[in-house]
Amino acid sequence: MKQRGLLPEHKLVDIGCGALRGGIHLIRYLHKGNYFGIDINRSLVEAGKLEVAAVGLSDKEPNLLVSDEFELSRFGTQFDYALAISFFTHLYMNHIVHCLVETNRVLKANGKLYATFFESPYSGYSHPIVHGEITTNYVSDPFHYSLEEMKALASVAGMGIEPDDWCNPRRQKMLCITQLAKA
């Protein structure tokens, strides 16, 4: 994220933060109170809180929320960056659009969402795809989508997508998602 412009003073929301496996590093880097994490799974968020305390980062005051509705506005702030790592891979298309709409509402004008997905060769590709140790599907979790499908979903939410060359150990593709210019 540093290579993509993240500075300690920026506010970042980690969508699908889980037990803060990646969040710990972001909490350590960001200024006090600038890390925000949201996840549907209360037990993972509680485990993340324990991990924050165990590594001595409680004084960084990470903001954590349990929600199944992408209620990013409940944080009451605007974000410079958002992350959705290994998240869209578990969502149906309509949930991705809902997440993007809610993210678009809380991103600053030049804010960016970095998100991963498993890529299929073309839209509507209904056969399973093996990505290393993970097999993805079009109609069940974990999902795969084409870049064109992801662009269409982002467009519905008023956002644009550019592929990013960020390497992912699980062979997911990274996207940089930004707000489209408002008319």
Give which of 64, 60, 62, 76 is closest to 15, Cα–Cα.
64
AA letter at 61: E
Domains delineated in the chain: 9-179 (3.40.50.150)
Q: Which residue has the higher pLDDT, 166 or 174?
A: 174
Per DSSP, 4 falls in state G
Query: What percent of the chain clears pLDDT 70, i.e. is strictly above it?
Result: 97
Q: Quick one: pLDDT at residue 94?
A: 96
pTM above 0.85, yes or no: yes
Residue range 16-38: average pLDDT? Answer: 97
Q: What value does the mean pLDDT of the chain take?
A: 95
Cβ atoms of 120 and 144 closer than 8 Å: yes
E-assigned strands of the chain? 12-15, 35-39, 63-66, 79-84, 107-119, 129-131, 134-136, 144-145, 159-164, 173-179
Q: Quick one: pLDDT at residue 169?
A: 66
Cβ atoms of 103 and 114 closer than 8 Å: no
Place of tokens 């991705």: 96
What are 63-82's pLDDT values in tens digits?
Answer: 999 998 999 999 999 999 99
Which residues does 124 contact at the CB level (< 8 Å), separation at least 6?
138, 146
Q: Which residue has the higher pLDDT, 183 or 67?
A: 67
Cα(45)–Cα(17) distance, rounded to whole angstroms? 8
